Structure 1
Amino acid sequence: MRETTTVRRPLRLRPVSPAGWWFDGLLLAAVIGLTAALAAGQLHDLDLAVRSWANAHRPESAYWVTRVLNSLGQGGWFLMPITFGLAALVMLRTRSIRPLLVGIGAFALTSFVVGPVKILTDRAAPSSKLPPEESVRLFNTLPANEWDLSYPSGHVANAIVWYAAMAVLVAALLRTFGRPDAPPALYRTIRVVPPAIVFCTTTYLGWHWITDSIAGLLLGLLLGRLLTRVPWDDLPVPPLPGGVHRPAGLTADD
């Protein structure tokens, strides 16, 4: 009797736009260049000028509106529960554990990339009570209990990565209802509008320097492209009871 084997499709990275790794290299070079410039004392005048303008144009009503909108970039109690909630819906619809991998991937990228960079650069926030010329510096030696995780903006990077994960899951959920692909306008809205709001509100509230937000944007775009490339349905997963390792429609058919 001939032994039958399961043929696994070769892993192929999913397309991103712009295509190719050149853009990823450009984003990485921009992050490194921005960090080097700040470490050399450049662009501090821009940071301080934006901080001064925001402090002078922040009435209480605008403060509370922007603070609520800024929650769109809060990873712990907003982005993570929504993403894993979407994953749970897709899991129920497809009887597959693979949607869970998307949320785990977003968590890993934001936690093990953005977090260490924050610790390494040791920059105070614009709202620090330290003298501005001291709090704006990178690679600082800050006092105990000083807010020192400003660079890059985790809110901005989180928003880009987690909303990229949500877009994958929303598209998969729509496919379970017979929609072959998510409408392009919906996909763009999920991926662009919340991060843009978070970028503006984080800077306006004085929680991050403008260059923190720019670094978060660049790093978030890089990580979001990595997450989007993953062929979630083709990742090798050990056979599980009930076939719950089956594909979940997380990538459009070629």
Structure 2
Amino acid sequence: MRETTPRRLRPTPVHPAGWWFDALLIAGFAALTAVLATGRLYGLDLAVSEWAFAHAPTPLYWTARAFNLLGQGGGLLLPLSGGLAVAVAWRRRTIRPFLLVGAAFVVTMLTIGPLKLWTDRAAPTASVKEPFLAPEEAVRIFHQLPPDAYSMSYPSGHVANAIVWYGVIAVLLLSLTAGRLSTGLYRLVRYAPPAILLVTTTYLNFHWLTDGLAALLLGLLLDRLLHRVPWDGLPLPGRLRDWSAPFIERP
């Protein structure tokens, strides 16, 4: 009888290659958080917020609100990702797309939310609506806020989630089109929404500028971790043998 040994799974290459970039992202997030905890960069956040409040003509404001809908998790990102996963699974006869979507949901839930609770930072709009905090108080991180104050501003969930979920959506679209999705469109889907959300959440004063910058670092880290997983090589139970085909296409 011939003995078989399990194939060793290797991380999928990402760009830039190597773990040094992941370490740099972690260090950047930690450094930014530490600097904010000392009170530095509050002036930058306050200046950007003040400018946004002072330059909000109605057409521009509602245009920004419309583009900001790109970051709606439950209303757009999850349903869209789930629908694409179903389409890819049916076309490729594989349940593997659901592993990717499930992993994205888990890693965002286990990181973004707990970090928001830990840092306890109000949003810029806390200064113009109840509990009407002074801007100098609302901008503080690791602050003991009133019970009725929104205290989940850092990091921006819109931006971090957009990096993760639009990365997932791009992978699923590429798979659904059997690799025929153009490189330009693939990159547009991956990178345009997070950039738009960084601008709109800051302009609308939903988040401080540093909330968005921290979310960029965190989102890129989570995105790289998800794309390192060899989804097509993960072992599946025998009963799923007929639904275990590969689905990943390379752009």
The interval holding the TM-score normalised by the smaller chain is: over 0.9
Residue 116 of structure 1: aligned partner: 114
Unaligned runs of 5+ in 1: none
Residue 106 of structure 1: aligned partner: 104
Over the matched positions of the two proteins, sequence identity in percent amounts to 52
State the 1:231 CA deviation: 0.8
Residue 235 of structure 1: aligned partner: 234
The root-mean-square deviation of aligned C-alpha atoms, in Å, is 1.6
Pick the aligned partner of 2:82 from 81, 84, 108: 84
Letter in 1 for 2:22: D
State the 1:164 CA deviation: 0.8
Please identify runs of 4+ aligned residues in structure 1 that moved more than 6 A: none
Residue 129 of structure 2: aligned partner: none
Residue 174 of structure 1: aligned partner: 177
Looking at structure 1, the residues matched to 233 and 65 of structure 2 have their Cα atoms a distance apart, in angstroms, of 40
Is the Cα contact below 8 Å between 2:93 and 2:245 reproduced in 1? no
Looking at structure 1, the residues matched to 137 and 233 of structure 2 have their Cα atoms a distance apart, in angstroms, of 49
The question of 1:37 aligning with 2:40 is answered no
Looking at structure 1, the residues matched to 157 and 54 of structure 2 have their Cα atoms a distance apart, in angstroms, of 25
Looking at structure 2, the residues matched to 36 and 204 of structure 1 have their Cα atoms a distance apart, in angstroms, of 24
Letter in 2 for 1:118: K
TM value normalised by structure 1: 0.92
TM value normalised by structure 2: 0.93
Query: Which stretch shifts more, 231-240 or 111-120?
Result: 231-240
Is the Cα contact below 8 Å between 2:96 and 2:247 reproduced in 1? no
Residue 24 of structure 1: aligned partner: 22
Deviations 1:7-31 (A, max 9, x none): 6432111111111111111111000
The question of 1:133 aligning with 2:133 is answered no
Q: CA 1:37 to 1:97, structure 2 compared with 1: closer, same or farther past 3 Å?
A: same
- Which secondary structure state, in structure 1, belongs to the residue aligned with residue 63 of structure 2? helix
Is the Cα contact below 8 Å between 2:88 and 2:97 reproduced in 1? yes
Is the Cα contact below 8 Å between 1:233 and 1:250 reproduced in 2? yes
Is the Cα contact below 8 Å between 1:164 and 1:227 reproduced in 2? no
Residue 190 of structure 1: aligned partner: 189
State the 1:182 CA deviation: 3.9
Looking at structure 1, the residues matched to 114 and 191 of structure 2 have their Cα atoms a distance apart, in angstroms, of 25
